[in-house]
Amino acid sequence: MLNEQQLKQLDNIFNPRSIAVVGVTDSKSNVGYSTLEAIVEGGFKGKVYPVHPRHKEILGLPVYASIEDVPGPLDLVVAALNQYASAEIVDICAKRGVKGVILLAGGFKEMGEEGAKLERGMIETAQKWGCMVIGPNCLGFINTPYDLVSVFFPLKIPKGNISIITQSGGAGLTVLNRLLDENIGISKWIGVGNRGSLEFADYLQYLEQDPTTDVIGVLMEATDNAREFVEIARKTVKTKPVVVYKSGKSELAQYAALTHTGTLAGSPRMYEDAFHQYGVIYVRTLLELAAACKALSIAPPAKGDGIGMITHTAGPTIVMVDEISSRGCPVPNLSEEALRRVKELLGTKNSETVILKNPLDLAGVGFEPVAFGKFNDVLCQDPGIDIIIGVFSEHRNWRFPADEMIENLKKHRKPIIACFISKIDGVCEVMEQLHKAGIPVFTNPDEAAWGAAALAQYYRYQKKALSQKD
């Protein structure tokens, strides 16, 4: 666990006043060039120093021959070098007083004993001088409140309240791009790679105190300190949900994890049981991680775990019941009062074609947005229903019931999830409207169910965590 001084140092790394990029050339195929480009285009306000012994200027910035030639204090260095030069630059940076070094290169413990020995020596040097290493074998990090994109993928990232800790750069980008597709911003995206100086638990401890982070997603292959991670997670879930996707479930995947970031993945069942015990929301796919984080970041907190569904097309709700119930979340019967009000709204004629249950399938009656809103209001008033999913299919002759859903949310303050069966470009406009209002929008039933289940699970976990003493 990090002490206060170390947490302050990590904060200085994520919010640096100055950055040097070592190994940058003027070639667009150079990783260092892409990293420098990402920092400049991201709008970083601090000082940026490209470092290379033979170049004079890159992207309009003067180039320095070595780290020793860079003037003034350096908070962060990004090293786009091979593993041997990376080890050397850590030694130089640590002795110079640099607070943190991002090492992009692989070739360390994931490659075997020789690489592991190189990595151990490098980390020992960094620790001796009080320097923190992010990586090695990682993409770097993004900190949108500080306009800092220090990965070698130049990206335009909207600001948001989700932070992602990822062991895999590619898998982490998969989740990030899924969120960006739906215009969901992030606060931080952190590639941990081989976890040289800092473990998952350290990053989680930092994000637990970060005022710009409300939801934390974790993509984990393995950790050398699972107990510390879940202990910090137990404290974190009192104020912020923690969602984890754990890869390496099969023997073949565990071997792939060992050769990827140098750590055996461990028993997936052991991790899953520990996560549930300590309040971590465990998800099964990368898309579920994105859906859970999205719902938790947009919707108001649930005050119970009962999930109700309303639709004019029953098939998607059958899919959702499977997904919701398999995650231990209840789909309760509607109350007698709710059933009475539904019958009243349907009238005698329509009552003959609607089965009164949860999920509530309105058939043709539900295509009319105003009517859909009235039935949605009934579910919101049911004391046994704490989270509502409204399923509505895109159609040229009927608009989405967005206005009605927003009115119901304002009136009842129960989380409402919109599942609009459509292409993404068919819901872009209404998605922006609903997201601003606090209603997450999904275009398929699986993701809507995952989002609702995450809200229900977090209610239970937070309730349990708040009742326990630290």
pLDDT value of residue 226: 85
pLDDT value of residue 296: 98
pLDDT value of residue 222: 80
CB environment 27-63: b (16+ within 10 A), e (fewer): eeebbbbbbbbbbbebebeebbbbbbeeeeebeebeb
The CATH code belonging to domain 4-293 is 3.40.50.261
pLDDT value of residue 470: 57
- Amino acid code (one letter) for 11: D
190 forms beta bridges with 141, 165
- Convert the pLDDT of each residue in 6-27 to its tens digit: 999 999 999 999 999 999 999 9
pLDDT value of residue 269: 76
pLDDT value of residue 465: 82
pLDDT value of residue 43: 96
Contact 162, 179 (CB under 8 A): yes
Domain ranges of the chain: 4-293, 301-467
For each successive 10 residues of the chain (470 residues), what is the average pLDDT?
96 97 95 97 97 96 96 95 94 95 89 88 94 95 97 93 96 96 96 93 98 97 86 94 83 46 59 88 97 98 98 96 96 96 84 83 92 97 98 94 98 98 93 97 98 97 80
Q: Domain 301-467: give its CATH architecture.
A: 3-Layer(aba) Sandwich (3.40)
Fold agreement between 4-293 and 301-467:
yes
- Convert the pLDDT of each residue in 310-349 to its tens digit: 999 999 999 999 999 999 999 999 999 999 999 999 986 6
Reading the block at residue 120, the tokens are: 């151990």
pLDDT value of residue 109: 80
